[in-house]
Amino acid sequence: MFLIQEQMQDINTYSFQGKRAIVRVDFNVPLDDQFQVTDNTRIRAAIPTIQKVLEKGGSLILMSHLGRPKKAEERFSLRHILPAIEELLGVPVLFATDCMGEETAAMARSLKPGEVLLLENLRFYAEEEGKIRGLPEEASEQEKAEAKTALKESQQRFTAALASYADCYINDAFGTAHRAHASNTLIAAHFPNDKMFGCLLHAEILAMDKVLSSAVRPVTAILGGAKVSSKLAILENLLDKVDNLIICGGMSFTFVKARGGRIGQSLCEDHLIDTALDILKKAEEKGVRMYLPTDVIAADAFDNNAQTNVHSIDQIPDQWMGMDAGPQTLTAWEQVILNSKTLLWNGPAGVFEMPAFANGTRQLVAFVANATQNGAFSLVGGGDSVAAVNQMGYANKVSYVSTGGGAMLEYLEGKELPGIAAIRS
């Protein structure tokens, strides 16, 4: 599928001269006790889109959520991040203390080319997410239905008000692209001929499609983390797309047990044993080579200072648990990764938060970086894998680091994300 379809506009060719663009960004950044931004990755990621509009003579209205407020609350105010945006952008940014209201509309209307206005947290309004708030638990079915209808109607007004601020709409919030909220889906309908992806959203889709639909083979997916259950749909979808599937971390033990291995106290989802067997069978039928760990660093407690031993993956003593990939496993995975032309990595190889069990994950980062240096395309996503890449200072040594956890996972499951569909439809 072409990324930019007929009815859509392309941010690179659209004429922003004298126009006001309303942009859904993802400024949901972590703050410390003093309301200082502790990680500005998401703000940095939105800068290319903002700069593009400014360079082309437009003005901007930026809108985002921050945290999960249930009403207007100072601690969730986007005002806190104004200095961080101004510093990265290098221009002053105006602030509207409410994303609704006549005063805000007037501020937006009077924007001149080159000016930027940030709106207060969209989630101060229930209309953004379209979820009913404050209804007592004992409310009757009829009361619930009435509240739902009322919210739907006011959501239309909320969306129309946001749309009225601007001449065109850009969605650049990959982190919320899997949510059907007012600011990233409903609003697009108000701009049938003037809606487009921002640079970040465009880059994210391009990177994922490079793995899913236009991959150079051999393609290897490395899936790790705690649970099979949270990655089941991805596993199913990837079986049709990849040549090799490396299963690592806690989720591997359900597969090992399914094959009859002794896994001791290792993490396991017993109710998914049959599913794991089914995945192994499907992989064989489809010619996908599955790589489970063959040895493991096991510990006698879930503790950084626990006693450790290397065990064969299917011979873990009863009171011990698998915590990280073993040396033989890592050697085998290194070969598979280095022989790949396309790589997708999501999820750690062990309990990497504990230094004693971080080696496997760190080695994975290095293997993926080496393969990239040899010409492979590599996409890394998911909070833990991204954290590992950043911790090692390797963000520039892989091809693409995704900014969206949940959104990326749903895209890899093969779902059409509402935020993307609204621009394409």
Stretch near ligand AMP under the rule CB under 6 A, chosen from 10-18, 192-200, 350-358, 368-376: 350-358
In DSSP notation, 154-221 reads HHHHHHHHHHHT-SEEEE--GGGTTS--TTTTGGGGG-TTSEEE-HHHHHHHHHHHHHHTSPPSSEEE
Question: Measured between alpha carbons, how far is 344 from 125 in angstroms, rounded to an integer?
Answer: 37
Question: Measured between alpha carbons, how far is 360 from 349 in angstroms, rounded to an integer?
Answer: 6
Residue 114, phi-psi category: left (phi > 0), alpha (psi -120 to 50), beta (remainder): left
Q: Which is nearer to ligand AMP, 51 or 390 (CB)?
A: 390
Q: In sequence order, what are the beta bridge partners of 118?
A: 62, 95
Q: Which is nearer to ligand AMP, 82 or 387 (CB)?
A: 387
Question: Measured between alpha carbons, how far is 383 from 362 in angstroms, rounded to an integer?
Answer: 15
Chain residue at closest Cβ approach to ligand AMP: 225
Edge to edge, the sheet with strand 295-299 lists 308-312, 295-299, 321-325
Stretch near ligand AMP under the rule CB under 6 A, chosen from 123-131, 205-213, 347-355, 389-397: 347-355
Least Cα distance to 295 among 213, 339, 359, 242 occurs for: 359
CB of 350 to ligand AMP, least distance (A): 5
Among 37, 205, 351, 358, binds ligand AMP (CB under 6 A): 351
Q: Within positions 256 to 285, which residues make up the interface with ligand AMP, using CB under 6 A?
A: 267
- Annotated catalytic residue, options 19, 20, 24, 42: 42
Annotated active-site residue 250? The verdict is no
In 213-319, alpha helices (H): 232-238, 252-258, 273-286
**Helix count and strand count (H, E) for the chain:** 14, 15
Annotated active-site residue 415? The verdict is no
Phi, psi values for residue 417, rounded to 5° = -80, 135
CB of 149 to ligand AMP, least distance (A): 37
Task: Give the side-chain half-sphere CA count within 13 A for 16.
Answer: 30
**353 counts as binding ligand AMP under rule CB under 6 A:** yes
Among 264, 348, 381, 419, binds ligand AMP (CB under 6 A): 348
Among 58, 261, 347, 418, binds ligand AMP (CB under 6 A): 347
Question: Measured between alpha carbons, how far is 425 from 294 in angstroms, rounded to an integer?
Answer: 47
Among 227, 262, 397, 424, binds ligand AMP (CB under 6 A): 227
Stretch near ligand AMP under the rule CB under 6 A, chosen from 76-84, 144-152, 153-161, 221-229: 221-229
User: How many residues bind ligand AMP, per CB under 6 A?
Assistant: 16
Burial 184-210 (b: 16+ CB within 10 A, else e): bbbbbebbeebbbbbbbbbbbbebbeb
Among 326, 382, 404, 418, binds ligand AMP (CB under 6 A): 382
**249 counts as binding ligand AMP under rule CB under 6 A:** yes
Question: Measured between alpha carbons, how far is 21 from 50 in angstroms, rounded to an integer?
Answer: 9
Q: Which is nearer to ligand AMP, 347 or 418 (CB)?
A: 347
- Annotated catalytic residue, options 227, 397, 415, 424: 227
In DSSP notation, 42-74 reads HHHHHHHHHHHHHHTT-EEEEE---S--SS--G
Four-residue CA torsion sign, 394, 398, 400, 403: negative
Residues with Cβ < 8 Å from 309, sequence gap 6 or more?
297, 298, 320
CB of 310 to ligand AMP, least distance (A): 14
**319 counts as binding ligand AMP under rule CB under 6 A:** no
**295 counts as binding ligand AMP under rule CB under 6 A:** no
Annotated active-site residue 393? The verdict is no
Annotated active-site residue 414? The verdict is no
Would you tell me how many other CB atoms lie within 10 Å of the CB of residue 337?
26
Stretch near ligand AMP under the rule CB under 6 A, chosen from 23-31, 32-40, 210-218, 343-351: 343-351
Q: Which is nearer to ligand AMP, 53 or 408 (CB)?
A: 408
The one-letter amino acid code at 370 reads N
Stretch near ligand AMP under the rule CB under 6 A, chosen from 179-187, 204-212, 332-340, 348-356: 348-356
The contact mask relative to ligand AMP for 149-178 (x = CB under 6 A, - = no) is: ------------------------------
**233 counts as binding ligand AMP under rule CB under 6 A:** no
Residues belonging to the active site = 42, 227, 383, 406
The binding site for ligand AMP (CB under 6 A) comprises: 225-227, 230, 249-250, 267, 322-323, 347-348, 350-351, 353, 382, 384
